[in-house]
Amino acid sequence: NAGVTQTPKFRILKIGQSMTLQCTQDMNHNYMYWYRQDPGMGLKLIYYSVGAGITDKGEVPNGYNVSRSTTEDFPLRLELAAPSQTSVYFCASSRTSGGAGEQFFGPGTRLTVL
């Protein structure tokens, strides 16, 4: 199993551009998550999904959108990129939640907005 994969690994955007960060998992997990990690800080939840067709906001959703059309894929869309969105983005998945849900993380996408 590849686990959780993310593309691209690195990206530089200009202010106002848009892009989609891709995330795929092959573990048939229902729960998927997007986090951002700023330097010297802990991770913060952007959006999450409890299954195909169901998404919900996390702690810092502004400026982002998500969709979940399949169990495997959970893309994160940035519209009108801003310098404040410069960060490392991690996708994660878990089989279940409510206490038993160990989360598995992808390698991250390092995004710079100039």
Partner 1 sequence: KQEVTQIPAALSVPEGENLVLNCSFTDSAIYNLQWFRQDPGKGLTSLLLIQSSQREQTSGRLNASLDKSSGRSTLYIAASQPGDSATYLCAVQEGGSEKLVFGKGTKLTVNP
**Which residues of the chain form contacts with partner 1 (CB under 8 A)?**
4, 31, 33, 35, 40-45, 48, 50, 56, 58-59, 90, 92, 97-108
Nearer to partner 1, 15 or 54 (CB): 54
With respect to partner 1, which residue has the nearer C-beta, 16 or 51?
A: 51
Residue-wise over 51-90: b if at least 16 C-beta within 10 A, else e?
Answer: ebeebeebebbeebebbbeebbebbbebeebeeebbbbbb
Q: State the minimum distance, in angstroms, from the CB of residue 7 to partner 1.
A: 13
Would you mind telling me the total number of residues written for the chain in this entry? 114
91 and 8 Cβ atoms separated by less than 8 Å: no
The least distance separating partner 1 from the CB of residue 70, rounded to whole angstroms, comes to: 19
Q: Which of residues 59 and 79 has its CB atom nearest to partner 1 in the complex? A: 59
Read off φ and ψ for residue 6, nearest 5 degrees. Answer: -130, 140
**What is the smallest separation between the CB atom of 29 and partner 1, expressed in angstroms?**
13
